[in-house]
Chain A
Amino acid sequence: MSEHQINSSSEVSTAQDGASRRDFLKIGASVSASAGAFSMAFFVPERASAADPKGVTPANNDPQKINAWIEIRPDETVIIRYARSEMGQGSRTSAPMLIAEELEVDWKRVKVEYALAHDNLKQKRVYGDMASVGSRTIRLSQEYLRKAGATAREMLIVAGSQAMNVPSSECIAKLGMVIHPASKKSISYGKVALKAAELTPPANVALKDPKDWTLAGKSIKRVDIPDIVTGRIRYGVDTQLPGMLHAAIAQSPVFNGKVKSMDGSKVQNRRGIVKVLNMGNFVAVVADNFWRAKEALKEVNIEWDVAPEHTKLNNASLHAFFKEGLSQTELAVARNDGDTAKALAAGKVIEAEYFTPFLAHSTMEPMVCTAWLQGEILEIWPSTQNAENSLAAASTASGVKQENVRVYPTQLGGGLGRKSPQDFTVQAVRIAKEMAGKPVKLLWTREEDMQHDFYRPASLVKLAATQKADGNIDALHIRVSAPSIIASLLKLPLPKGVDPQAVAAFEDHPYAISNSLVDYAQRNSNIPVGFWRTVGHSQNPFVRESFIDELAHAAGKDPLAYRLANLPEKNFRDIAILKAVTKAANYSAPLPKGVFRGIAETDGYGSWTACVCELSVNDRQEVKIHRIVIGIDPGYAVNPDNIAAQLQGSVVHGLSAIFWGEMIVKEGRIDNSNFHDYRLMRLNEMPNVETVIAPTGGFWGGVGEPAQAPLAGAVANALFNATGKRVRSLPFKNHGFSLARVRT
């Protein structure tokens, strides 16, 4: 059994019945939530009952706790708990902002502390889902966070009014004070918090209209940044414990191989080497210093037992495998409006095939987890996007009961979806078990990280369309041949055979097309796949929005006008974000000679996004990006500057993939090994990025992932306008295009 299988619900979950599993799938489909899946695979997906703000009896040792989320100390310090991970997405700040907004406290007095996974387990998941995946922190927890703040505020008002001997109905709360305006009396929260905590929480509280926000909606500085710039913050990799050992591991280069034989005799007497372990599906060297461990590992002789057919995989054979999927006769149908086959047969068909490759996450901090097993107690410090999932996986791997597992939060050196699967946590726990009594920190080398990822799936897509006399789209057939993350990583059944991520942005395309068929050929190989930032929306919008451009050009229409003509009124948010972003980009104004524009739009993670790219290409096929205007409508913008940062970052993440990102599969293994052959963008290539934050209200969308979605389409469409060359596969480097430095 491989580690990631341990994470699948079938292995561990006993609480899930068929109905909740279906619920999960529904949620998985609609929120396209990476490994939300994971937490739900372990714990009953009780989003409705999760995080009840009033349902907690304050712990005995915590009399100041108004509820699970809020504690107010006599010195007026306000402790607000944050129940997810921080990996740079900023929600350790923006989620507490929503609580503070309703609580009516002075943000300067707020301290954010982590809620702990083992406390959540003990307290019937009072903190709800702890996963930081799917850009979901704000959009899926805003309501219970705001209610937690509002409920506590009402209790403080009652306690304050009693202390002042005035009717509570005449009191208001502001900046940590309960105020009775009529008598001009006031009392601070810190003085009445104990009393407030004893009160019965109100059953119903009214939440503020975001129009009345005084804190949320403003750009608030992230709470973790001061500790980042001084080096005080502790990432998973920084865990230090008394007598701690360090482990380096090697896994089978061809995926899913086992250790056939291992000879560590050359290194076992070397300085600092404590143990060389054959762990069945990996080899570990445990030492007193990580460098000694990883250097020794290079000289451990390992023979791997791999399935012969797995060694035959390479990029060409995988492409052929996906190509076969396109002509597969049994297909799962994701969308079927009208009669697409008939409409296509009746008109002039425009066809195209698009390909997007496997990609590694390459978080700056590789996989890391420290584990310490002492008797019946297991403590772990994983760099994890899902502490509950880490807890469950550690329990299963060690045999230690869940209630005896403690998970300590760390800052994550990036997550990008990779730190949801718990393969590294399981490995650390298994090694710690072998080194019983001693804490062991397992760190993957960069090479191990790059060659044992759960890769963004490759995908081959065939599109066919016909147009009406006016050029508007009459029929559109999109056939996807791609692996399924849900089926192969999560081992869950697919609703109607469709992986929602594989067809994301296709099955829910916003265009008014009477005949729309989207079908799917599931093509799983031995290359492990997983949730990579923006998941299906990291690749499918490139395909869709490039093809829409092809249709616009075929119709002789401007790409913006064409999109607006094909978007029905009911999809007013697509229209609004397109208009907002093209206006900010001054779309109708002429560009300097040699500079060309491209646009794209999409929705995802509950938000709407659009992008305009302006670029020029010289005769050496160097692409100079002059400007990127990228915009989002997230409904409500809780911390606007953080949203801008996420948009800027999404552009960098996206451009690395667009220009260079591709895994090279050779003889069944990943050939790329480090940043020299898996190129990431650097500062001197960073184009000018202008962000447009255009919240229209009435819904809550995510911000960490959606902005990457429209980027590739906008860049590819601009590239076509500049060169006449339609690039239908990524990365650009395979077409001879390179990214020019902005300044030369």
Chain B
Amino acid sequence: MKITVNEKARELDVEPDMPLLWALRDELDIKGPKYGCGIAQCGACTVLLNGEPVRSCAYPVSSAVGQQVVTLEGLEKKGKLHPVQQAWIDHEVPQCGYCQGGQILAAVALLKKKPKPSDQDIDAAMTNICRCGTYARIRSAIHAVAAKGVKA
């Protein structure tokens, strides 16, 4: 089967029910999405499918056929960081960083839908677990991107 990841067509010869996470990580060597729980609880495996955050550990790869898959690696354009990535640096958001790829993608999706999200919007959209406890900084980084009015 063929899937499109970060705007590139990729050929895969895998079982249709293999979770997208493991097709990306172990077949295509795309390591941005991380394994955390395998049951769509933590969100470390988050990727964007047609712009929507999806937990790739519980999403069959065959369902991604025909959709645009974006991983953390696909956010940087022509050597320029996505505003959310830049805000994550400016606010020193990550600690261990393991969950942050998922957090960043969830934030990208949120800001696309709601360029000026309220705290309630952030509460509702940012459901990924961060064991290091970077939540306060995730919130301020999202607000900072919104305040700059950069098209996310």
Binding site for B on A (CB under 8 A): 87-90, 221-222, 224-226, 228-231, 233-235, 237-238, 240, 246, 271, 288-292, 294, 362-366, 411-416, 443, 445-446, 641-642, 645-646, 648-653, 674-676, 680-684, 686, 689, 741-743
Q: Across the interface, do B131 and A225 meet the contact criterion of CB distance under 8 Å?
A: no
Partner among B89, B127, B139 whose Cβ is within 8 Å of the Cβ of A682: B127
Interface centre among B97, B119, B130, B137 (most CB of A within 10 A): B97
Provide 6 A-B residue pairs closer than 8 Å at the C-beta atoms, listed in order of the A residue: A222-B92, A230-B72, A230-B85, A291-B21, A366-B36, A653-B131
Partner among B39, B41, B137 whose Cβ is within 8 Å of the Cβ of A645: B137
Cα A366 to Cα B101 with chains together (Å) = 17
The 5 closest A-B CB pairs, nearest first, are: A652-B133, A413-B98, A88-B95, A88-B96, A228-B97
Q: Across the interface, do A684 and B123 meet the contact criterion of CB distance under 8 Å?
A: yes
Partner among B15, B18, B19, B99 whose Cβ is within 8 Å of the Cβ of A364: B99
Cα A121 to Cα B26 with chains together (Å) = 33
List of B residues within 8 angstroms of A416 by Cβ: 131
List of B residues within 8 angstroms of A224 by Cβ: 97
List the A residue with the shortest CB-CB distance to B31.
A238
List of A residues within 8 angstroms of B76 by Cβ: 230
The smallest C-beta distance from B14 to any residue of chain A, in angstroms, reads 8
List the B residue with the shortest CB-CB distance to A688.
B136
> If the complex has contacts A88-B97, A683-B127, A686-B136, are A229 and B85 also in contact, measured as CB distance less than 8 A?
yes
The smallest C-beta distance from B55 to any residue of chain A, in angstroms, reads 12
List of A residues within 8 angstroms of B95 by Cβ: 88-90, 645-646, 649
B7 interface hit (Cβ, 8 Å): no
List of A residues within 8 angstroms of B44 by Cβ: 364
Q: Across the interface, do A246 and B26 meet the contact criterion of CB distance under 8 Å?
A: yes
Cα A294 to Cα B18 with chains together (Å) = 12
Q: A228-B88, A366-B35, A681-B135 are in contact. List 20 more A-B contacts (CB 8 A).
A: A87-B96, A89-B95, A222-B92, A226-B89, A229-B85, A229-B100, A230-B75, A230-B85, A235-B98, A237-B34, A238-B31, A289-B18, A364-B36, A364-B98, A413-B98, A414-B96, A645-B134, A652-B132, A674-B37, A686-B139
Q: Across the interface, do A231 and B71 meet the contact criterion of CB distance under 8 Å?
A: yes
The smallest C-beta distance from A273 to any residue of chain B, in angstroms, reads 13
The smallest C-beta distance from A70 to any residue of chain B, in angstroms, reads 26
List the B residue with the shortest CB-CB distance to A239.
B31
The smallest C-beta distance from A211 to any residue of chain B, in angstroms, reads 25
Q: Across the interface, do B39 and A674 meet the contact criterion of CB distance under 8 Å?
A: yes
> If the complex has contacts A221-B89, A289-B18, A363-B131, are A230 and B73 also in contact, measured as CB distance less than 8 A?
yes
Interface centre among B35, B122, B127 (most CB of A within 10 A): B35
List the B residue with the shortest CB-CB distance to A271.
B15
B11 interface hit (Cβ, 8 Å): no
B window 106-152: CB within 8 A of A = 119-120, 122-124, 126-139
Interface centre among A87, A231, A289 (most CB of B within 10 A): A231
List the A residue with the shortest CB-CB distance to B27.
A289
List of A residues within 8 angstroms of B5 by Cβ: none
List of A residues within 8 angstroms of B36 by Cβ: 364-366, 446
List of A residues within 8 angstroms of B132 by Cβ: 88, 414, 649, 652-653
B94 interface hit (Cβ, 8 Å): yes
List of A residues within 8 angstroms of B18 by Cβ: 289, 291-292
**Number of cross-chain contacts by CB at 8 Å:** 180
Cα A365 to Cα B37 with chains together (Å) = 9
Q: Across the interface, do A289 and B26 meet the contact criterion of CB distance under 8 Å?
A: yes
> If the complex has contacts A289-B18, A291-B26, A414-B131, are A228 and B37 also in contact, measured as CB distance less than 8 A?
no
Binding site for A on B (CB under 8 A): 14-15, 18-19, 21-22, 25-27, 29, 31-32, 34-39, 41-42, 44, 71-73, 75-76, 81, 85, 88-89, 92-101, 104, 119-120, 122-124, 126-139
List of A residues within 8 angstroms of B92 by Cβ: 221-222, 225, 641-642, 645
> If the complex has contacts A675-B37, A683-B122, are A233 and B97 also in contact, measured as CB distance less than 8 A?
yes
List of B residues within 8 angstroms of A648 by Cβ: 133-134, 136-137
List of B residues within 8 angstroms of A413 by Cβ: 34, 96-98
List the A residue with the shortest CB-CB distance to B74.
A231
List of A residues within 8 angstroms of B119 by Cβ: 743
List of B residues within 8 angstroms of A221 by Cβ: 89, 92
List the A residue with the shortest CB-CB distance to B82.
A229
Interface centre among A364, A649, A684 (most CB of B within 10 A): A364
List of A residues within 8 angstroms of B34 by Cβ: 235, 237, 364-365, 413
Q: Across the interface, do A652 and B130 meet the contact criterion of CB distance under 8 Å?
A: yes
Q: Across the interface, do A675 and B42 meet the contact criterion of CB distance under 8 Å?
A: yes
Cα A599 to Cα B75 with chains together (Å) = 44
> If the complex has contacts A231-B71, A364-B98, A365-B34, are A652 and B135 also in contact, measured as CB distance less than 8 A?
yes
List of A residues within 8 angstroms of B37 by Cβ: 446, 674-675
Interface centre among B35, B95, B119 (most CB of A within 10 A): B95
Cα A686 to Cα B123 with chains together (Å) = 9
> If the complex has contacts A231-B73, A674-B37, are A225 and B96 also in contact, measured as CB distance less than 8 A?
no
Q: Across the interface, do A681 and B94 meet the contact criterion of CB distance under 8 Å?
A: no
The smallest C-beta distance from A382 to any residue of chain B, in angstroms, reads 15
Q: Across the interface, do A291 and B19 meet the contact criterion of CB distance under 8 Å?
A: yes
List of B residues within 8 angstroms of A689 by Cβ: 136
The smallest C-beta distance from A563 to any residue of chain B, in angstroms, reads 27
List the A residue with the shortest CB-CB distance to B123.
A684
List the B residue with the shortest CB-CB distance to A362.
B131
The smallest C-beta distance from B134 to any residue of chain A, in angstroms, reads 7
Q: Across the interface, do B81 and A682 meet the contact criterion of CB distance under 8 Å?
A: no
Cα A240 to Cα B31 with chains together (Å) = 9
List of B residues within 8 angstroms of A292 by Cβ: 18
The smallest C-beta distance from B71 to any residue of chain A, in angstroms, reads 7
List the B residue with the shortest CB-CB distance to A685.
B135
> If the complex has contacts A88-B132, A364-B44, A653-B131, are A225 and B94 also in contact, measured as CB distance less than 8 A?
yes
Cα A47 to Cα B95 with chains together (Å) = 28
Interface centre among B25, B129, B132 (most CB of A within 10 A): B132
List of B residues within 8 angstroms of A235 by Cβ: 34, 98
List of A residues within 8 angstroms of B31 by Cβ: 231, 234, 237-238, 240
Cα A228 to Cα B95 with chains together (Å) = 9
Cα A676 to Cα B36 with chains together (Å) = 12
List of A residues within 8 angstroms of B41 by Cβ: 674-676
Cα A463 to Cα B99 with chains together (Å) = 41
> If the complex has contacts A233-B97, A683-B127, are A225 and B136 also in contact, measured as CB distance less than 8 A?
no
Partner among B22, B85, B96 whose Cβ is within 8 Å of the Cβ of A290: B22
Cα A708 to Cα B150 with chains together (Å) = 37
Q: Across the interface, do A231 and B32 meet the contact criterion of CB distance under 8 Å?
A: yes
Interface centre among A224, A414, A415 (most CB of B within 10 A): A414
Interface centre among A289, A366, A682, A683 (most CB of B within 10 A): A683
Q: Across the interface, do B133 and A650 meet the contact criterion of CB distance under 8 Å?
A: yes
Q: Across the interface, do B39 and A676 meet the contact criterion of CB distance under 8 Å?
A: yes
Cα A684 to Cα B32 with chains together (Å) = 24
List the B residue with the shortest CB-CB distance to A704.
B95
The smallest C-beta distance from B47 to any residue of chain A, in angstroms, reads 11
The smallest C-beta distance from A464 to any residue of chain B, in angstroms, reads 36
List the A residue with the shortest CB-CB distance to B95.
A88
The smallest C-beta distance from A92 to any residue of chain B, in angstroms, reads 11
List of A residues within 8 angstroms of B127 by Cβ: 682-684
Q: Across the interface, do B42 and A364 meet the contact criterion of CB distance under 8 Å?
A: yes
Cα A705 to Cα B71 with chains together (Å) = 33
Cα A642 to Cα B37 with chains together (Å) = 28
Cα A711 to Cα B134 with chains together (Å) = 17
The smallest C-beta distance from A114 to any residue of chain B, in angstroms, reads 16
Cα A88 to Cα B98 with chains together (Å) = 9
List the A residue with the shortest CB-CB distance to B100.
A228
